[in-house]
Amino acid sequence: MTPLDEIKALIAQKELFIFDLDGTLFNTLGDLAPAVNYAMKQFGLHTHSNDDVRTFIGNGSMNLIRRAVAANFIPVVSTRDMEKVAETLARENYSEESIKEIHKVYSEFYWEHCTENTEPYEGVIELVRRIADENRDENHTGTRCAAMLTNKPVAPAQKILKKFGLENSFATYLCGDTTPERKPNPAGIYEILRQTGIAPEKAIMIGDDTPDVLAAKNAGIDCITLFEGFGKAENLLPLEPRYTAGHIKDFAEFI
Fold type of domain 4-27+119-254: Rossmann fold (3.40.50)
Cα 45 from Cα 25, distance rounded (Å): 31
pLDDT digits (tens, 9 = 90+) for 73-95: 776 554 444 456 556 666 667 77
Helices (H) and strands (E) in the chain, counts: 11, 8
Supply the pLDDT for residue 142.
62
Across the chain, the runs of DSSP E, i.e. the strands, are: 16-19, 26-27, 119-120, 145-149, 172-174, 203-207, 222-226, 243-245
Domain boundaries, the chain: 4-27+119-254, 29-113
pLDDT digits (tens, 9 = 90+) for 189-239: 999 999 999 999 999 999 999 999 999 999 999 999 999 999 989 889 999
Mean of pLDDT over the chain = 91
Cα 204 from Cα 223, distance rounded (Å): 5
Label residue 70 by pLDDT band (50, 70, 90): confident
Supply the pLDDT for residue 82.
47
User: Is residue 135's pLDDT more than 70?
Assistant: yes
Residue 72 neighbours by CB under 8 Å, 6+ apart: 40, 45, 46, 93
Cα 197 from Cα 71, distance rounded (Å): 44
CA dist list (Å): 205 to 86, 122, 183, 200, 229:
29, 18, 12, 10, 15
Supply the pLDDT for residue 79.
43
Name the H helices within 77-200.
80-93, 96-113, 124-134, 154-163, 187-196
**How many residues belong to the chain?**
255
Same fold, 4-27+119-254 and 29-113: no
Query: 99 with 91: CB under 8 angstroms?
Result: yes
User: Is residue 244's pLDDT more than 80?
Assistant: yes
CA dist list (Å): 177 to 43, 63, 151, 152, 168:
26, 15, 8, 8, 19
Cα 225 from Cα 213, distance rounded (Å): 7
Beta bridge partners of 145: 16
| Mean pLDDT value of segment 131-157 | 84
The pairing of beta strand 243-245 with beta strand 222-226 = parallel
Supply the pLDDT for residue 83.
56
User: Is residue 147's pLDDT more than 60?
Assistant: yes
Check: pTM over 0.85? Answer yes or no: yes
CATH code of the region 29-113: 1.10.150
Supply the pLDDT for residue 87.
61
Q: What is the CA radius of gyration of the chain?
A: 18
Query: 147 with 172: CB under 8 angstroms?
Result: yes
Rounded-to-5 percentages of helix, strand, coil across the chain: 50, 10, 40
Supply the pLDDT for residue 91.
63
Cα 220 from Cα 100, distance rounded (Å): 34
Supply the pLDDT for residue 171.
96
pLDDT digits (tens, 9 = 90+) for 21-54: 999 999 999 999 999 999 999 999 999 999 989 9
User: Is residue 60's pLDDT more than 90?
Assistant: no
